[in-house]
């Protein structure tokens, strides 16, 4: 039982490049989330999904897109990376309302 797995763990991008972060969970959770973590700002919600085929915007969605084609996967895309997107990205999943969220190990992204 791997829980929540994020790929890749580290990445360096040049400004303007694109990339996709993959999140996979094996707990059959309905809800999935993408957060970014920046020093002094805690975790901020980028996008989330309440089920396969659904996505919604969080607090800081600009510059990101997501897709949830399969229940177990939640993809986060950066179409044109900017230095302001340098951050640690966390994916999480949960069974539903007001339940424990399980986090992945994070992806450290640097945009130069």
Residue 74 interacts with another protein (CB under 8 A): yes or no: no
Smallest distance from another protein to CB 58, Å: 7
Map residues 11-50 to x or -, x wherever contact with another protein holds by CB under 8 A: --------------------x-x-x----xxxxxx--x-x
Within 10 angstroms of residue 70's Cβ, the number of other Cβ atoms is 11
Residue 10 interacts with another protein (CB under 8 A): yes or no: no
Map residues 84-103 to x or -, x wherever contact with another protein holds by CB under 8 A: ------x-x-x-xxxxxx-x
Q: How far, in Å, are 2, 37, 46, 90, 101 from residue 42 at the CA level?
A: 25, 6, 13, 12, 16
Within 10 angstroms of residue 109's Cβ, the number of other Cβ atoms is 20
């Amino acid at each position: 039982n791997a829980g929540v797995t994020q790929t890749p763990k580290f990445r360096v991008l040049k400004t303007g490049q694109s990339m996709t972060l993959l999140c996979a969970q094996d707990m059959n959770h309905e809800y999935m989330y993408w957060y970014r973590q920046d020093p002094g700002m805690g975790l901020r919600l980028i996008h989330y999904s309440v089920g396969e085929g659904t996505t919604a915007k969080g607090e800081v969605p600009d510059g990101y897109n997501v897709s949830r084609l399969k229940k177990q996967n939640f993809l986060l895309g950066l179409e044109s990376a900017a230095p302001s997107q340098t951050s640690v990205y966390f994916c999480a999943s949960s069974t539903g309302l007001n339940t424990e969220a399980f986090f992945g190990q994070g992806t450290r992204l640097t945009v130069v």
